[in-house]
Structure 1
């Protein structure tokens, strides 16, 4: 063999394609239609992946978790399983030839038996480095041996190491479904151990499947252990070469935080090439690498990585492609079966239930959740030692715009209610949880809710009411109380739960129970979800509250129970809150364009939007100085949004 020239280098190319937070978005079909139609689908992404392979690209296809839950087809097939058929998401991933898949927290929503059955049919490796369980069906780390062509001729062997982590709080969020079946470590510690192990095994390239977002890390080590978003810390590990993020439902590069170490243009986090591909199939992450080494004994180096998050809806490389026809044919039996199940009628309502005005008093979606929880829990709590404590209920509208876009809203018409309507009303399998809470704890909880609003200067106009940094599912109403929010004051908390104002600062005004002021030492029982009680949504102090033992069904099941009996407008509890009046002040309320069909029921809003923003949301002028009636019902004829 001729000696190598001194200036010769081995150079090869690798394309890493990644999905994350698919949430069952397999197709655009009717059986899957709870995924917004203006997003994407795995079947459409698959057509692009096939085209890349056909063009000769060296493709590594990965997924970063939350793929088994989130659509009608996933829920139907989990509740009414087909024993002899693989889960349709597994069928789709097998068909597309995924090289490896990491688990997300929502994979555990249905419990371990459902998860084990689904994973048993996977033709690809499953990873999770910080969760363990008996007969778990996944591994901690993986090395893929990939043969790649060299640019100058010949071939090389590349050892690609992979690990995966997800939020440790998954154990608490799904406590009822899991019943102690899994154990979890903090993400950063597990990531460091896995990366070092892969390096010791001789991995040439290490990829982190980090089911976590990108945010500034808490300064305290204990806070880092329970943070949901530690991508910055994982990217800073010296062994990690590539990072795929998720969980936060954001898009990177483009939509990352403006903090040190994050390059939203080049897609680098602490210098590590990174992508976060949205959710519901909205984007495909693509990292195209040039790898070079001086000689076969040298380490491979990444040169000029190109990181992109390709929008399935608008990027012509994907938007003009049809869904994978062969995949649709394979999925047809499961899709048809799910369609039939989702159309079954479960009950009736005599009033519209919509979420277009979910950040205004009078939203019916949280009122329906509260009604269902109170009807179930109050009789049971009356038989416990806590029978003398007042019972309150949290309600939240989950589908209310946000990062999912201007069409991501609940809109259920009066009349028959189907399973697919129920899914729209409550898309998660959260279970009921009862907490003991004081008046001081309630004020903190409500101040977190009030932080969903921007600060509005008295006498101003034109400021958007909602702080878009807060997810659409982060606004809680607490039924059984009355209270007002003074949004002329600064927000007390960041979306992470970090306190922004000194102790004692609050936006909550006139907090009352049964007409009397709530004192800090007063005690209550609060009906909420296991997700909130386990820290989901970062409610300050929620994780430390005492739980009252009570059977814990899924909240969606309780809503189904209420709808089966029939729900009228008169059944829904009064809206508990208002804004404090701000003289001479107005703001812009951001909602979906279809809100126009319901806007007339909310007279404090202008009847028509003043404008539409760049994302297609309608902006309605909202009068914050009005002094109308003192009562505000969940389905009001003349709602009072402003407290005199």
Structure 2
């Protein structure tokens, strides 16, 4: 059984030699890499200066300039790119997955689990991390079934010693610092990936679990305790309490000396998103005076927390003189050995992406998907409704199959301003053959498909929540109507109703449906499992409204639909069922 005791202990003894009266302990962190390993954009087919081959070069530099160091990964590592899509496909064969070799070569000292680690189920999680030498962390996750105990390999905390042989006053001596690492993740994984986790694991409050693990690390001899939290903080608000974005509350626990956080893809220190929160200093990188880092996403930054220990001669002991937090951007420099190591899997990913599955008679572009209906979005709507229509046809006895049926889809990779439009930073599939890579570009998350039943009143709230992604603009600039601070995955579009959005009106009065919705009428809405289980806090959705959960990922549904279309391919005429009022056509 692949399992570690929940009582973590001392591990990984490493010794260094320095000659100084001050010693720097450097904690380095990556987070939200989302499968960006190779420094290659599989959609544009060009190299890019991000991904772990670039981060590794920066890590080597940072290690060399510190006396002792640790490297920590903070979750959402194994999902989010064509490379990780290839890994999932390869897991059905006997092929050795490349993740363990990658993490071991980079010398990670610990890996914290994020929410996306569970997207493909516990068996795949076990396979992906098989052979990783670093301990895997999660204090608030507990395996409850034999299946989960077989496939989960994690512990609430670990204590890692670092020993320095140094000379103080011409006297040789050894200095050992024991670093405790405590990991947590959002409890909402029990909603987002319920189909994988229900009856197998339990996830408790991050605060309660972290407090217990911090105390355990101290009792195990930790001199310094680092909270490794795959969670962020509420943005643009003075209310820091949130069960998903919980770092503000976690930072107030006793016994924490530094914080690594993530989940939100922000850069901290450096962002102003948290400036309304009390006791958060976004310039110094502190939360309640504790140094903290959030290193963005895709391996574009490295989080660095330095502890400087000074020898107090009078007391004849080492004490912490200073602590600091920073984020370091990667450069174009790549780690050549790591690049070479990943080359076979990189080539396999390229081949995986080029498999044709069908064709489209017209281009499928999400360039203007935040501003008007597009064929790209309509294709996803059509595929979702096609899939559910087949299910409803063979299960007509279910009451919800007789309700009006809608589809809700958000554009994941749409242009959000003139610059992203000009730079081609959006999904664009040319007319002709459609490959697996095209489908991965069109729908970038491994969501499954759910059906929720909501009232007309709830549907109005859903529409209004989506309309928050727009703002009052001017007639000369179509992009001015778009609030680029709200991510595209929070802008749901709907198929099955006609509606207009007036961004000049207050939220709650922006959307007019044609005909008007009946507040008491029930609707069956086809959406993804993230939204159906409460992701984004839309219209009171919390998982209780789900009447059907598909075992299939939406990416696979799109592939199946494209193949079902046959040689003719996708030839639909655009249905312009919604529009933004108060703007001239551009």
TM-score range, shorter chain: 0.7 to 0.9
Find the aligned partners of 2:490 and 2:389 in 1 and give their Cα distance. 25
Question: Once the 2 structures are TM-superposed, how far is the Cα of residue 10 of structure 1 from its aligned partner?
Answer: 6.7
Matched-pair contact (CA < 8 Å) for 2:416–2:479: no
Aligned residue for 1:470?
Answer: 486
Matched-pair contact (CA < 8 Å) for 2:178–2:224: yes
Q: In the alignment, which of 70, 85, 106 is matched to residue 96 of structure 1?
A: 106
Deviations 1:199-251 (A, max 9, x none): 23231111111111122699999x73xx3211111222221111111110111
Deviations 1:157-180 (A, max 9, x none): 111111111111112111223453
Find the aligned partners of 2:263 and 2:298 in 1 and give their Cα distance. 11
**Is 1:169 aligned to residue 188 of structure 2?**
yes
Aligned residue for 2:5?
Answer: none
Matched-pair contact (CA < 8 Å) for 2:39–2:48: no
**How many residues matched?**
548
Aligned residue for 2:410?
Answer: 396
Aligned residue for 1:353?
Answer: 364
Aligned residue for 1:306?
Answer: 324
For residue 154 of structure 1, give the secondary structure of its aligned residue in structure 2. strand
**Is 1:333 aligned to residue 350 of structure 2?**
no
Label 1:164 to 1:556 Cα distance change in 2 as closer, same or farther (>3 A).
Answer: same
Find the aligned partners of 1:109 and 1:271 in 2 and give their Cα distance. 35
Matched-pair contact (CA < 8 Å) for 1:437–1:545: no
Q: TM-score, normalised by structure 2?
A: 0.86
Aligned residue for 1:625?
Answer: none
Find the aligned partners of 2:369 and 2:316 in 1 and give their Cα distance. 58
Question: Once the 2 structures are TM-superposed, how far is the Cα of residue 77 of structure 1 from its aligned partner?
Answer: 1.9
Question: Once the 2 structures are TM-superposed, how far is the Cα of residue 28 of structure 1 from its aligned partner?
Answer: 2.1
For residue 446 of structure 1, give the secondary structure of its aligned residue in structure 2. helix
Matches within 5 A, 1:67-86: 67-81=77-91, 84-86=94-96
Aligned residue for 1:208?
Answer: 227
Find the aligned partners of 2:238 and 2:213 in 1 and give their Cα distance. 23
Label 1:17 to 1:81 Cα distance change in 2 as closer, same or farther (>3 A).
Answer: same
Question: Once the 2 structures are TM-superposed, how far is the Cα of residue 36 of structure 1 from its aligned partner?
Answer: 8.5
What value does the CA root-mean-square deviation take over the aligned residues?
2.9
Aligned residue for 2:427?
Answer: 410
Aligned residue for 1:497?
Answer: none
Q: In the alignment, which of 432, 439, 455 is matched to residue 422 of structure 1?
A: 439
Find the aligned partners of 1:35 and 1:229 in 2 and give their Cα distance. 35
Label 1:36 to 1:295 Cα distance change in 2 as closer, same or farther (>3 A).
Answer: farther
For residue 148 of structure 1, give the secondary structure of its aligned residue in structure 2. strand
**Is 1:234 aligned to residue 250 of structure 2?**
yes
For residue 155 of structure 2, give the secondary structure of its aligned residue in structure 1. coil
Aligned residue for 1:445?
Answer: 462
**Is 1:506 aligned to residue 520 of structure 2?**
no
Question: Once the 2 structures are TM-superposed, how far is the Cα of residue 84 of structure 1 from its aligned partner?
Answer: 5.0
Question: Once the 2 structures are TM-superposed, how far is the Cα of residue 459 of structure 1 from its aligned partner?
Answer: 8.7
Matches within 5 A, 1:512-551: 512=514, 516-543=515-542, 545-549=544-548, 551=550
Deviations 1:564-615 (A, max 9, x none): 234766526624322233xxxx6xxxxxxxxxxxxxxxx812xxxxxxxxxx
Find the aligned partners of 1:265 and 1:539 in 2 and give their Cα distance. 33
Find the aligned partners of 1:219 and 1:53 in 2 and give their Cα distance. 37
Find the aligned partners of 1:296 and 1:352 in 2 and give their Cα distance. 75
Matched-pair contact (CA < 8 Å) for 2:26–2:66: no
Q: In the alignment, which of 286, 291, 303 is matched to residue 285 of structure 1?
A: 303
> Which segment is superposed worse, 76-85 or 296-305?
296-305
Deviations 1:537-589 (A, max 9, x none): 221301154221354311111111122234766526624322233xxxx6xxx
Q: What are structure 2's unaligned runs of at least 5 residues? A: 1-19, 144-148
Question: Once the 2 structures are TM-superposed, how far is the Cα of residue 100 of structure 1 from its aligned partner?
Answer: 0.6
Aligned residue for 1:122?
Answer: 132
**Is 1:132 aligned to residue 133 of structure 2?**
no
> Which segment is superposed worse, 107-116 or 560-569?
560-569
Q: What are structure 1's unaligned runs of at least 5 residues? A: 1-8, 313-318, 493-504, 587-602, 606-644
Deviations 1:139-164 (A, max 9, x none): 11111011135574633111111111
Q: In the alignment, which of 116, 141, 162 is matched to residue 157 of structure 2?
A: 141
